[in-house]
Structures are given as C-alpha cells and as structure tokens.
C-alpha cells in the first residue's frame, strides 16, 4: 500500500477527488422555482414580462417579469423568429434586446489547440523525467567513449591510490 502513496497516481487521484468536490460545491443550483421556455412564452402572451434579453450565442434568454423575478431560460434555435415576434408585439422596444452570435476567432482556436499543446508538453516532461534528464532523450545507441589525444596525461597504476590487492588484481587482468 505504501508503494501506491509514493507513485504518481496518488497525487493525481487526490486532484481528481478535490476537483469533483469543488465542482459539487460551486455548481450547486439554487432551490428556487425552475422556469421553462413554455413559461416564457405564456408570460409574453399575458404581458407579464418587463424586459427580455436574447443571447444568440448560447441560446439563453434573460427574463425580468413585472413582479421583479429574474431568471434565465434556454430556447431552441428554430424558435428565434417566433420569440422575437412575440417580444416585439408584447414589449416596449427598449425592454427587448438581442445579443448576436459574435465570437473571437483566436479565442475559439486557442480553446481547441491549447489542451493539446499542454498535453504534449506534459508528455514530453514525463518522458524526460523517465529518461533521467532532457539531454538523454535520443542518446540510445551512441557511444560514450572519449578519444584520447597524444598530449593527454598518462595515468598509471602507481598514480592511483588504493589497496595493493586491487592493484595486483588489475595487473592480472591486464
């Protein structure tokens, strides 16, 4: 069991569990009344809506009723003309707003590419750690021998301090 705690899977498991609990705490919905798209249409027909703002980018409508209740409701793409006609018929022009589908091209491109770049960078980092450093990634099959020059110092057995028995064994090997 102690081997699991020393492995890389343990911190990853901790982060996943903490992210799950944070999402549950942050993403909790309010226990208030849920409004539907049908409620919005019926309130528009009965002239109970004070202001309406349509967001075409994410298909949501921010509604403020005459009673002061504010809520957000989603609507289908195909119902935009029907919804705008009902709002124009039953609301004052200043109480109706439409937010267009505008998007920054660089931002949308970044949201698609950035996770891949982060993943690849993390993968390269892990591979460098496994190999023991960045300089040894592609060094397999290469000789680590060094060429000796003529003017390099000559080191003999007499120059090396050590046990006499070890020196004798090296003489035997030689």
Break the chain into its structural domains and give their ranges. 37-99, 105-136
Please tell me the pTM assigned to this model. 0.43
Q: Which CATH code fits 37-99?
A: 3.30.720.210
Residue 28: how many CB atoms within 10 A of its CB? 8
Mean pLDDT by 10 residues, the chain (174 residues): 72 88 75 79 88 87 89 87 85 81 78 89 81 58 73 72 75 82
**Could you tell me the two tokens for 132?**
């023991």
DSSP label at 149?
Answer: P
Q: pLDDT at position 157, please?
A: 65
CA dist 28 and 31 (Å) reads 9
What CA–CA distances, in Å, run from 49 to 37, 43, 93? 13, 6, 13
Closest by CA position to 36, among listed 69, 61, 56, 1: 61
C-alpha 137: how far from its chain's center?
Answer: 27
CA dist 10 and 4 (Å) reads 6
3-state secondary structure at position 63: strand
Q: pLDDT at position 118, please?
A: 92
């Amino acid at each position: 069991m102690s081997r699991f705690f020393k492995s890389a899977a343990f911190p990853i498991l901790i982060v996943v569990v903490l992210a799950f609990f944070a999402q549950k705490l942050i993403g909790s919905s309010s226990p208030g009344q849920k409004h539907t798209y049908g409620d919005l249409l019926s309130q528009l027909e009965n002239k109970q809506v004070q202001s309406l703002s349509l967001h075409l980018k994410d298909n949501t409508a921010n509604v403020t009723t005459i009673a002061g209740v504010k809520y957000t409701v989603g609507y289908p793409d195909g119902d935009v003309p029907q919804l705008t006609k009902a709002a124009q018929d039953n609301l004052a022009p200043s109480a109706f707003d439409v937010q267009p589908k505008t998007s920054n091209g660089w931002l949308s491109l970044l949201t698609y590419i950035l996770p891949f770049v982060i993943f690849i960078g993390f993968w390269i980092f892990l591979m460098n750690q496994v190999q023991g450093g960045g300089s040894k990634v592609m060094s397999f099959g290469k000789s680590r021998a060094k060429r000796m020059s003529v003017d390099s110092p000559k080191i003999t057995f007499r120059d090396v301090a050590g046990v006499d028995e070890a020196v004798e064994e090296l003489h035997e090997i030689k």
